[in-house]
Structure 1
Amino acid sequence: MTGPLPAARHLVALNRVRADAGGQTTAALQRTRLFAEEAGTGTTVLTFDAFPAYAEAEASLRERGVLHPDVRLRNVYDDLRERAWPEPTGATEELADLGDLRRVDEHRADGSLWRVRWDNPVNLEPLFHDYVRDDGSVSVRAAAPLSLDEFPRRPGLVQVVDPAGRVRESHETQGAFFASWVHHLVADDETVVLFHDSMMVPPHLTPELDERVRQVAVLHVAHVYAPRHWNSPAHPPAARTLAHLDRLDALVTLTERQRADIALGHGDRTNLFVRPNPAEPTEVPDPRPARDPKRFSVIARMERVKRVDDAVRAFAQVVEQEPDAVLDVYGDGSLRPRLEDLVRELGVDGSVVLHGHRPDAPQRLWESSGLLLTSRSEGFPLAPLEAAVRECPVVAYDIKYGPREQVEDGGTGYLVPAGDVAALARRVVDLARSPADVARMGARARERVLADRDAYVASWGRILERAEANRARRVHLDEVAFTPEQVPRPTAVWSRVAGRVPHRGAHVEVRGRLLVRGSGPDGWRDAVRVALDAVDQDTGTIVPVPITVRPADADAVTVHGRTGLRALLAEVPGPRPRLSLRLSVTAGNAYWETPVARPAGLEPLREIGYDADGTLQVRARR
């Protein structure tokens, strides 16, 4: 690596880009701008949605400086309208005539034809979309409607058509269609890095791209739902992306906590990295605004996930002790009427001001003594970064993910337990009564985020360099299978009942043969890690079970694990843990796991196994 970044062509895959770009799009475009400014690396941003106004969106983003001059924006449907096709060398299929269907023309804002929708003439259900060129010829025909949340597979799902009406490509999945377009953009001898900044696209695109394309996914959102343990129900787009983790050169999370949670659920692989988003620097105003010791702020959408009502309830407690305190709430959303009612109900309409959306909200933080963050979950929230560069301390719920990494408790603000409104109020009062602490914390916060921002591009360079080096060490697990010879009783007995625990001699024991077939660099088997864990389904607590692993033959090992049940249960919180056993194999970028369970109802002195032909065997223990 001769500069801040390894030499490569950069692409960014986003499902969509709009003029009013949201958080993850803003973060992705910020990265492309910093790469261009500090490393001279331009980027092409690829979008995969059908949208008639990309020209207007791009113009707006460029006018505001969000899109750097060295960053291009290309959409798959717009791009294929302009593609030049060579003369076909063989037979081609003519695009089918849909004249027996109901035609509906869809236009751009300037009145020009954008696409034609073909409906079932009986029930008016949309069946096809034809994306057209300026001369009215069809460039792409796709089944309608196509959603990135769905994975239909059928011949001719998407057809790419030349100006003469000949079908030049026919794809049975969206992923194959998208990958064909990306491959067309990439030269055979190019080193290409594709950044996935939307979790909607990788499940389609990742398995279809060839080895020329280095794939780096950046996870901007929490990947699990409440209660947000590592094994909690997964956010569907993130879960579908993580299913292809072995195909990614890097998965980059914004916090170490999220990387650790993914490692617990999907293996501690060599392609997991952490790089937080940076703050957007801003100069200290001259003259510097006076900071009001009694003024506090919230910058958030008025939606359930942001839990702004907690900030209002906390402030009702604050004004009981500090009657002159004021809370400015910037943002809008569907819950605004409820929040207005809550403000009146709590009698704080003279202390809590709902400003709605204001573009200058971040600049108002120069006058605020604290930003409140009360979200249920985040990926890496923007508002605390905006506060830090403006020397405004943050009082935040300690949620997953972001606040713990962004806020140094007692140093740049305060962390309080999620949902603890009283603790939130106490910390606001602490700040209101100590302007000296506000000044100290604010200065420290600005210093930290500006130092991190200065290191941003170089740290990305190290991630890309390591990801490239890991390609030569990539492992493919072709077949992994565990044949049990001895497994424990059903997990229903692994509980503390009425305060009692099993007798001291009770134990958990697993014995079996583990087959591992795959490929990788020389010596890859030496780095294979086998683990047996007891997992509490309710809390996500993991208790490692000691195991002995011995070679059996070239492709297999024997595994024997044993631990005392009393000692195991002592490691798990709660009176009635629900434990299961998990056997896992980690080999560099690759991971495999299986539950190890005894069938319910099997007699305690019976064990299960398998014959050589795979037939289930039940036999008595001696």
Structure 2
Amino acid sequence: MKPTMFFLINSIDILRGGLTRASLKQASFFAEMGYETYMLTFNFNPKYPIIRDKLLEMNKVHKNVTILNMYEELEGYDEPLTLTIPSKKASLTELSNGMSIDKRHKRNAYRVYNNGLYVKYISLNEDNSLDFIDYFDENRYRTKREVYDPWGNLKKVAFMNLLLNKPNQLIYYDNEGRAYFSQWNDPESEIIQRVNIFNKNSSITHTYANDNVTHKLDWLTKTINKLGGERSVVISDTRSTDEVLIKLDHPKAAKVWRLHSSHLDSPFTVDANITPAVKPALDNLETFDAAVFLTEEQKNDVTKRLGEKSNLMVIPHYHEESTKTIKSNNEDNKLGVVISRLSSLKRLDHTINAFKYVVDEIPDARLEIWGTGNQESSLKKLIKELNLKENVYLKGYTHNPDEIYQKALFSVMTSKKEGFALSVLESMYNKAPVISYEIKYGPTDMIVDNENGYIIENENIEELANKMIYMFKNPDKSREMGEKSRNYIDKHFNKNIYKQKWLDVIDAAITTKFRS
């Protein structure tokens, strides 16, 4: 009998990067094979009914994957909330109580003034439903934030420390206005000091002091008891859920830990310190029935550091076979692309600086950068400073990376570190060969240098530019590399290999857990 699958992930949203996409694909894979499959989310987000609906509509998750949320269940819902009615458009007249309002530039938000005194800030969602309201005192200190669901129900209030502008206390409410959860924070360290859970009679049922794990563990245990059957497999996909998996000790649940990122801290070399987010799991590898890495290289590096472990296994990503036509000499010979989160870790400034050299030699060359992140403004500034506004474009988030790669001559990857570099896999599958820095981990598993792409010295911007110039000047060579890229992915990273490796991991974890 197939075990029930539980995937632990802190949060799921629509505009997300590679880790979330990989987790959704992974859960969908098991649902497709007939496993009862759940994704357990631990964050507060009143938009989950919309998120679930949108993910299904966009075919980002299998219809038989059930996405559960801890806060929804603590509020009292036995089933995941579904989208049954449209969101409610907010009334600015009602929210401002007739006071003066001033719209923020390029934001769906408004400042409210009472006879000249700034009293609150109203933020709306894209569909003009209410998102949150911030309240201010006469000294412009924020006193609290009210968070609403898309139907106008107050769901959370954060009471702020005036000087630090961070929450002292958070209270979560059901639709009748009853508190079901409260949290005390140290606003300076942001450490959680106390968690209280209330019943419908407003009586405290559980209290957790200086502990942000046990209430999550209790919910996970309750969920396994309710849905898990005789045998379950629990997989931690994000580092924020690792401590929950480490502490889980359920007689009917095997534990699998999966690492999606590099375990190395700066400078990201093999002997670098272990990054704090990954350290708890690596320090407790023996508590897992299986520990999964994305590349053999990373598994070997961990083994050299921590010693031989019998539970270490490798499952690389795969790319789903596409029913759409893969490009056939229809790509733009003057277009390179990047699909990436706009963060400092991705070093997109290297790509842009290299592209300045490209444009000096090929004035009509273009680079499209797809993604969102906190580096957007600095990257815009760099593009302007280098006079590349007619050559380099920040295009925003894309839900269709395959289409972006198919129109490009090649793609570029300049990250400081990766766990696997899903963008490399996707690009090569779509016949866009990749020019990548040699980093840990992933690119060298897929790119055979000078055959189906290029691996260049880390941080060598001049060489990066030279390779882009060569590709633009030799589009036939790029197309040849693109064909080899697709063939390589089809051979080494196909769904059948992925399926067998996962079945091996599940079998090994179940055997280890229940061998007695």
Query: What TM-score, normalized by structure 2, do the two folds share?
Result: 0.77
- Corresponding residue for 1:9? 4
Work out whether residues 4 and 229 of structure 2, in 8 Å CA contact, stay in contact via their aligned partners in 1.
Answer: no
- Corresponding residue for 2:28? 33
1:302 Cα deviation from its structure 2 partner: 3.3
- Corresponding residue for 2:465? 425
Distance 1:410 1:137, change over 3 A: same
1:345 Cα deviation from its structure 2 partner: 4.6
Distance 1:332 1:81, change over 3 A: closer
Whole-Å Cα distance in 1 between the matches of residues 390 and 62 of structure 2? 44
- Corresponding residue for 1:310? 350
Whole-Å Cα distance in 2 between the matches of residues 183 and 466 of structure 1? 22
- Corresponding residue for 1:20? 15
1:169 paired to 2:163: no
- Corresponding residue for 2:310? 270
Work out whether residues 175 and 205 of structure 1, in 8 Å CA contact, stay in contact via their aligned partners in 2.
Answer: no
Distance 1:152 1:246, change over 3 A: farther
Whole-Å Cα distance in 2 between the matches of residues 374 and 259 of structure 1? 22
Whole-Å Cα distance in 1 between the matches of residues 326 and 454 of structure 2? 28
1:348 Cα deviation from its structure 2 partner: 4.7
1:427 Cα deviation from its structure 2 partner: 2.4
Give the aligned residue type for 1:459. K
SS of 1:387's partner is: helix
1:194 paired to 2:234: yes
- Corresponding residue for 1:463? 505
Whole-Å Cα distance in 1 between the matches of residues 425 and 187 of structure 2? 37
Give the one of 178, 185, 199 matched to 2:216: 178
SS of 2:66's partner is: strand
Give the one of 132, 137, 145 matched to 2:173: 132
Whole-Å Cα distance in 2 between the matches of residues 327 and 20 of structure 1? 22
Distance 1:318 1:210, change over 3 A: same
Q: How does 1:201-600 map to 2 (within 5 A)?
A: 201-285=241-325, 288=328, 290-346=330-386, 348-360=388-400, 362-451=402-491, 452-455=493-496, 456-471=498-513
- Corresponding residue for 2:155? 114
Work out whether residues 254 and 274 of structure 1, in 8 Å CA contact, stay in contact via their aligned partners in 2.
Answer: yes
SS of 2:213's partner is: helix
Stretch moving more, 314-323 or 367-376: 314-323
Work out whether residues 13 and 197 of structure 1, in 8 Å CA contact, stay in contact via their aligned partners in 2.
Answer: yes
Distance 1:287 1:369, change over 3 A: closer
SS of 2:239's partner is: coil
1:81 Cα deviation from its structure 2 partner: 2.0
Q: Where is the helix percentage greater, Structure 1 or Structure 2? A: 2
1:65 paired to 2:74: no
1:218 Cα deviation from its structure 2 partner: 1.4
Structure 1 vs Structure 2 CA RMSD? 3.2
Whole-Å Cα distance in 1 between the matches of residues 396 and 63 of structure 2? 33
Whole-Å Cα distance in 1 between the matches of residues 271 and 298 of structure 2? 12
Distance 1:136 1:334, change over 3 A: closer
1:316 Cα deviation from its structure 2 partner: 3.0
1:284 Cα deviation from its structure 2 partner: 4.5
1:51 Cα deviation from its structure 2 partner: 2.2
Whole-Å Cα distance in 2 between the matches of residues 225 and 103 of structure 1? 36
- Corresponding residue for 1:81? 75
Distance 1:249 1:395, change over 3 A: same
Work out whether residues 157 and 172 of structure 2, in 8 Å CA contact, stay in contact via their aligned partners in 1.
Answer: yes
SS of 2:462's partner is: helix
1:404 Cα deviation from its structure 2 partner: 1.0
Whole-Å Cα distance in 2 between the matches of residues 353 and 59 of structure 1? 31
- Corresponding residue for 2:38? 44
SS of 2:264's partner is: coil
Distance 1:22 1:121, change over 3 A: closer
Paired residues, number = 447
Whole-Å Cα distance in 2 between the matches of residues 28 and 233 of structure 1? 27
Work out whether residues 302 and 332 of structure 1, in 8 Å CA contact, stay in contact via their aligned partners in 2.
Answer: yes
Whole-Å Cα distance in 2 between the matches of residues 122 and 370 of structure 1? 50
Work out whether residues 331 and 408 of structure 2, in 8 Å CA contact, stay in contact via their aligned partners in 1.
Answer: yes
Give the one of 150, 158, 165 matched to 2:195: 158
Whole-Å Cα distance in 1 between the matches of residues 163 and 272 of structure 2? 45
- Corresponding residue for 1:142? 183
- Corresponding residue for 1:586? none
Query: What TM-score, normalized by structure 1, do the two folds share?
Result: 0.65
1:416 Cα deviation from its structure 2 partner: 0.6
1:200 Cα deviation from its structure 2 partner: 0.8
Whole-Å Cα distance in 1 between the matches of residues 269 and 164 of structure 2? 45
Distance 1:349 1:112, change over 3 A: closer
Give the aligned residue type for 2:207. S
1:121 Cα deviation from its structure 2 partner: 11
Give the aligned residue type for 1:184. K
Whole-Å Cα distance in 2 between the matches of residues 264 and 238 of structure 1? 17
Work out whether residues 203 and 244 of structure 1, in 8 Å CA contact, stay in contact via their aligned partners in 2.
Answer: no
- Corresponding residue for 1:56? 50
Deviation digits for residues 36-92 of structure 1 (CA, Å, limit 9, x no counterpart)? 22x1113111111222222222222222122221111111121122268xxxxxxxx
Work out whether residues 280 and 386 of structure 1, in 8 Å CA contact, stay in contact via their aligned partners in 2.
Answer: no
- Corresponding residue for 1:503? none
Work out whether residues 176 and 208 of structure 1, in 8 Å CA contact, stay in contact via their aligned partners in 2.
Answer: no
SS of 1:371's partner is: strand
Whole-Å Cα distance in 2 between the matches of residues 123 and 287 of structure 1? 53
Whole-Å Cα distance in 1 between the matches of residues 165 and 234 of structure 2? 39
Whole-Å Cα distance in 2 between the matches of residues 271 and 29 of structure 1? 24
Work out whether residues 178 and 205 of structure 1, in 8 Å CA contact, stay in contact via their aligned partners in 2.
Answer: no
Whole-Å Cα distance in 1 between the matches of residues 482 and 166 of structure 2? 57
SS of 2:494's partner is: helix
Work out whether residues 438 and 457 of structure 2, in 8 Å CA contact, stay in contact via their aligned partners in 1.
Answer: yes
Deviation digits for residues 240-299 of structure 1 (CA, Å, limit 9, x no counterpart)? 222221111122111122212222232221111111122243345388462333432222
Work out whether residues 245 and 255 of structure 2, in 8 Å CA contact, stay in contact via their aligned partners in 1.
Answer: no
